[in-house]
């Protein structure tokens, strides 16, 4: 009986296992076994199935290198059944040679492929690192932009607040300045009113005092004139207490002399002479009567030349007020030369008495 090449080669390595059916070492059927036509058909179908499974396994091994190939089971018979043995004698067609099954284990990569894979992996890692750095940089830039924008906004708010505070402060300062200026103006106006009121009171008081002083001056002047007239009469050997015999309008009636016409004329001339001297001296006295409230009297004897030039001033009686005495003495020296009589004569010596409130106002 011819042998079956497929059965002689046996199953592929991946189909061999502990369940492998024991068979004849040479892969032949036992002697005396006859194969019928049916048995040949079954053998052919089994061979085709085995070849198909083998091709499928090779395809799967190529496309899916690392995947486990599917397990294919095949039944191998050591002897055909009796009903099939009769058909075994019919020779089966010779199948084409079967190529050795490829090793299902994945091929080992070469050094070049490993280097390419390593470079590719490094490139991918570098790309991932750069992408990560880019994203981190973009995130940092966004965060920095956010912080910058937030800082700018805070600065703007702070500047606006500072500007508002400055304007409010300036407004308050202007209001305070205006208030102080108004208060100062009111104070000055009040001071001016008070000064005017005091000035008015002082003027009224001065006017009253001036009127009183003028009245006292007139009274003192009249008294002094009477005293001088009495002194002139006494120096002329007349009775100071003599009264005029009549009240005529001539010089004798004015001088109060009872006598002849010549004596009356001389008395009037001397009276005018004494008054002019006293008026000249008093116009040069510089003294405040308030410094001598008791109105003391000082008496000087004055000697002069024929020209009226004063040559000696002698204090006959002190007033008790050194200031008043010195003021009168300076005025006498300052009045030199003294006036003369109407006929150009001078009386020598002269006795002159002065009181602070007797001084008439100097002529302007």
* 105-149: pLDDT as tens digits: 666 668 888 889 999 999 999 999 999 999 999 999 999 999 999
Please state which of the ranges 109-118, 205-214, 250-259 shows the lowest mean pLDDT.
Answer: 250-259
Pairing of strands 298-304, 310-317: antiparallel
Retrieve residue 123's tokens.
């490139």
Instruction: State residue 156's pLDDT score.
Output: 94
Whether pLDDT at 14 is above 60:
no
The span from the CA of 72 to the CA of 49, in Å, is: 11
Q: What is the pLDDT of residue 51?
A: 82
- The whole-angstrom separation of Cα 213 and Cα 203 is 15
Q: What is the mean pLDDT of residues 271-285?
A: 87
CA angle 344, 347, 350 (to 5 degrees): 140
Position 269 scores a pLDDT of 67
**Cα dihedral sign for 41, 45, 50, 55?**
positive
Residue 93 pLDDT: 61
Q: Output the CA–CA distances (angstroms, integers) from residue 266 to 24, 233, 257, 278, 291, in the order listed.
A: 211, 10, 10, 19, 39
pLDDT of residue 12: 52
Tokens of 48: 């085709």
Counting residues of the chain whose pLDDT is more than 70, the rounded percentage is 63
pLDDT score at 331: 92
Predicted local distance difference test score (pLDDT) of residue 189:
94
- The answer to whether residue 243 scores a pLDDT higher than 90 is no
Across 256-274, average pLDDT: 55
Identify the pLDDT of residue 254.
38
Contact 153, 161 (CB under 8 A): no
The DSSP symbol for 299 reads: E
Q: Look over the chain and give the mean of its residue pLDDT values, rounded to a whole number.
A: 75
* Max mean pLDDT range (57-66, 214-223, 281-290): 281-290
Write down the H helix ranges in 86-110: none
Residue 86 is predicted with a pLDDT of 56
pTM: 0.30
Q: Which residue has the higher pLDDT, 259 or 310?
A: 310
Strand order in the sheet with 310-317: 310-317, 298-304, 350-354
């Amino acid at each position: 009986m011819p042998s079956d090449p497929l059965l002689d080669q046996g199953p592929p390595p991946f189909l061999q296992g502990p369940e492998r059916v024991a068979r004849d070492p040479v892969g032949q059927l036992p002697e005396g076994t006859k194969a019928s036509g049916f048995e040949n058909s079954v053998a052919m179908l089994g061979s085709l199935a085995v070849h198909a499974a083998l091709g499928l396994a090779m395809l799967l091994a190529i496309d899916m290198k690392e995947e486990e190939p599917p397990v294919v089971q095949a039944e191998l018979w050591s002897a055909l059944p009796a009903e099939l043995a009769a058909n075994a004698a019919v020779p089966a067609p010779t199948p084409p040679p079967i190529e050795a099954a490829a090793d299902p284990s994945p091929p080992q990569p070469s050094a070049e492929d490993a280097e390419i894979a390593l470079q590719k992996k490094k490139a991918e890692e570098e790309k991932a690192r750069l992408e990560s750095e880019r994203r981190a940089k973009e995130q940092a830039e966004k965060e920095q932009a956010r912080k910058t924008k937030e800082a700018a906004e805070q600065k703007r708010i702070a500047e606006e607040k500072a500007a508002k505070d400055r304007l409010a402060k300036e407004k308050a300062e202007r209001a305070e300045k205006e208030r102080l200026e108004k208060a100062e103006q009111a104070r000055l106006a009040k001071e001016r009113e008070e000064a005017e009121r005091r000035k008015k009171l002082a003027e009224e008081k001065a006017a009253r005092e001036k009127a009183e002083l003028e009245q006292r001056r007139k009274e003192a002047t009249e008294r002094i004139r009477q005293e001088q007239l009495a002194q002139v009469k006494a120096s002329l050997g007349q009775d100071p207490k003599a009264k005029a015999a009549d009240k005529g309008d001539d010089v004798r009636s004015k001088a109060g002399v009872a006598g002849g016409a010549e004596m009356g004329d001389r008395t009037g001339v001397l009276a005018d002479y004494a008054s002019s001297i006293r008026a000249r001296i008093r116009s040069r006295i510089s003294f405040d009567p308030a410094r001598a409230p008791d109105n003391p009297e000082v008496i000087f004897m004055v000697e002069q030349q024929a020209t009226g030039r004063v040559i000696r001033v002698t204090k006959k009686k002190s007033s008790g007020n050194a200031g008043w005495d010195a003021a009168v003495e300076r005025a006498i020296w300052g009045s030199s030369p003294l006036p003369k009589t109407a006929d150009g004569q001078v009386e020598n010596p002269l006795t002159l008495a002065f009181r602070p409130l007797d001084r008439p106002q100097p002529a302007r």
